[in-house]
C-alpha cells in the first residue's frame, strides 16, 4: 500500500511539472533593465510570435545569447507560477543594468551575469542570484578578427597571439581579462562601450575581440558592417558560471525570485536550457574538437566543484 501511494505521489508531481503555471490572480509587473539594442531585437523576435514570448519554442530565432536569457527568464517566471507583464527600463551598458536592479528600479536584469558580480559589495545584499543557466566550462569563446586581417588567422598559440596582435574587450569583461591573463595574453585594450569595438579594430588600434561563436555554418559574424572570423582551432572557456539577477530591494523581488527558481529547475530537468543555448548557436558543436587553451585549469576547477557537490559522509 505504501509503495502504491509513493508511486501515485510521484505521478502527481510529474504531471504537475508538465502543466502550464496558473496565471489567474498571480500577475506581476516584471520590469527588466536592458540595453536599447537588445530591447529592439527582443521586440522584433516576439513580433513573429504574436508578441508573446511564451510562444517561442525554437530559440534559433533569437540572435544573441542575451536574448535567449531574457526569454528564458520570462518563461521561467511563468512556469514558476506567476504571470509576468513585461516592461523595460533601458540602460546604456551592463554596469548600469545591474545597478538599476540593485536599486530596485528594475525587478530583473535582461541577461545572465557571472557569480563574481553577485559577490561585489554593492550587490551582495541587494540582489538574488539564480541557479546557474550557464554552468562551469560551458561559456566558450574564439578570437575574432576581420576576415581580411592578413596573417591573423594563421596564429597557432596564445603566445603568438599576445606577441603579434592586440585585443580589445569591454570595460566590464573582467572574466575575459583574468582568463586571458592566465593564458599569457595581456596585450589587451579595455573600452567602456561594445559598440566602439569595431571602430577600434577597423582603425587598426586593435586586431581582434574574444567573442562567443557565431551560429553560422562558417562561424563568421558581422560587426560594424565587416565580416569577422575566429582563429581556426583555438578557443578558451570562461572559468565561471552565469546566473540571472533579481532585485532584493524591489517589493516583488522575493516572489519573482522564487517563481524564477521553480521555473528554471523545471527547464533544466526538461533540457530546455541546453536546447535553447544550442539552437541559438551559443553552444557550438562545430568547435567541439578545437584546442581549449585553458583545459587543464578548467578540469581542475570542475574536479573541485564535483567534490563540493558530493554528499557528506555520515558521522
Cβ burial, residue 87 (10 Å; 0-12/13-18/19+): exposed
Distance CA 108, CA 264 (A): 15
Protein fold of 140-237: D-Maltodextrin-Binding Protein; domain 2 (3.40.190)
Distance CA 140, CA 83 (A): 33
Q: Are 167 and 180 in contact (CB under 8 A)?
A: yes
Question: pLDDT, tens digit, for every residue of 84-131?
Answer: 999 999 999 888 999 999 999 999 999 999 999 999 999 999 999 999
CB 298 within 8 A of CB 136: yes
Fold category of 19-136+241-285 in CATH: D-Maltodextrin-Binding Protein; domain 2 (3.40.190)
- For residues 32 and 86, the answer to whether their CB atoms sit within 8 Å is yes
Start and end residues for every CATH 3.40.190.10 domain found in the chain: 19-136+241-285, 140-237
CA nearest neighbour of 282 among 180, 179, 142, 139 = 139
- pTM for the whole thing? 0.85
Give the pLDDT band of residue 14 (cuts 50, 70, 90): very low
Largest Cα–Cα separation, the chain: 76
What are residue 28's DSSP bridge partners? 84
Question: For 119-163, what is each residue's pLDDT tens digit?
Answer: 999 999 999 999 999 999 999 999 999 999 999 999 999 999 999
Q: Which one has a higher pLDDT value, 93 or 67?
A: 67
Extended beta strands in the chain, E state? 27-34, 83-90, 108-109, 113-114, 127-134, 140-146, 167-170, 188-191, 209-211, 221-223, 226-230, 234-237, 242-247, 291-292
Predicted local confidence at residue 18, as pLDDT: 37
The grid coordinates listed for 135 are: 554552468
Q: How confident is the model at residue 312 (pLDDT cuts 50, 70, 90)?
A: low
Residue 302 has pLDDT above 50, yes or no: yes
Cα distance between residue 37 and residue 270, in whole Å:
31
What is the rounded average pLDDT of the residues 80-84? Answer: 96
Contact criterion met (CB below 8 Å) for 32 and 109: yes
Amino acid at each position: 500500500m505504501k509503495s502504491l501511494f509513493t508511486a501515485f505521489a510521484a505521478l502527481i508531481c510529474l504531471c504537475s511539472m508538465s502543466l502550464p503555471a496558473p496565471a489567474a490572480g498571480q500577475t506581476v509587473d516584471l520590469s527588466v533593465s536592458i540595453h536599447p539594442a537588445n530591447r529592439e531585437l527582443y521586440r522584433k523576435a516576439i513580433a513573429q510570435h504574436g508578441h508573446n514570448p511564451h510562444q517561442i519554442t525554437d530559440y534559433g530565432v533569437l540572435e544573441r545569447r542575451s536574448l535567449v536569457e531574457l526569454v528564458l527568464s520570462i518563461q521561467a517566471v511563468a512556469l514558476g507560477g506567476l504571470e509576468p507583464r513585461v516592461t523595460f527600463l533601458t540602460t546604456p551598458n551592463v554596469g548600469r543594468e545591474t545597478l538599476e536592479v540593485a536599486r530596485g528600479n528594475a525587478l530583473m536584469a535582461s541577461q545572465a551575469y557571472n557569480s563574481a558580480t553577485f559577490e561585489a559589495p554593492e550587490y551582495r545584499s541587494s540582489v538574488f542570484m539564480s541557479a546557474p543557466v550557464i554552468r562551469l566550462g560551458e561559456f566558450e569563446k574564439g578570437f575574432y578578427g576581420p576576415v581580411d586581417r592578413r596573417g591573423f588567422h594563421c596564429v597557432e598559440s596564445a603566445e603568438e597571439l599576445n606577441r603579434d596582435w592586440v585585443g580589445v574587450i569591454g570595460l566590464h569583461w573582467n572574466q575575459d581579462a583574468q582568463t586571458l591573463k592566465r593564458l599569457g595574453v595581456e596585450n589587451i585594450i579595455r573600452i567602456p562601450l561594445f559598440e566602439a569595438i569595431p571602430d577600434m579594430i577597423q582603425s587598426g588600434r586593435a586586431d581582434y575581440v574574444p567573442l562567443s561563436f557565431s551560429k553560422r555554418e562558417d562561424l563568421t559574424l558581422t560587426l560594424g558592417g565587416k565580416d569577422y572570423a575566429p582563429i581556426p582551432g583555438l578557443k578558451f572557456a570562461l572559468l565561471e558560471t552565469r546566473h540571472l539577477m533579481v532585485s532584493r530591494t524591489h517589493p516583488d523581488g522575493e516572489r519573482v525570485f522564487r517563481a524564477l527558481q521553480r521555473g528554471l529547475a523545471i527547464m533544466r530537468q526538461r533540457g530546455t536550457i541546453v536546447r535553447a543555448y544550442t539552437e541559438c548557436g551559443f553552444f557550438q558543436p562545430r568547435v567541439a574538437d578545437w584546442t581549449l587553451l585553458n583545459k587543464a585549469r578548467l578540469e581542475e576547477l570542475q574536479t573541485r566543484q564535483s567534490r563540493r557537490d558530493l554528499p557528506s559522509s555520515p558521522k
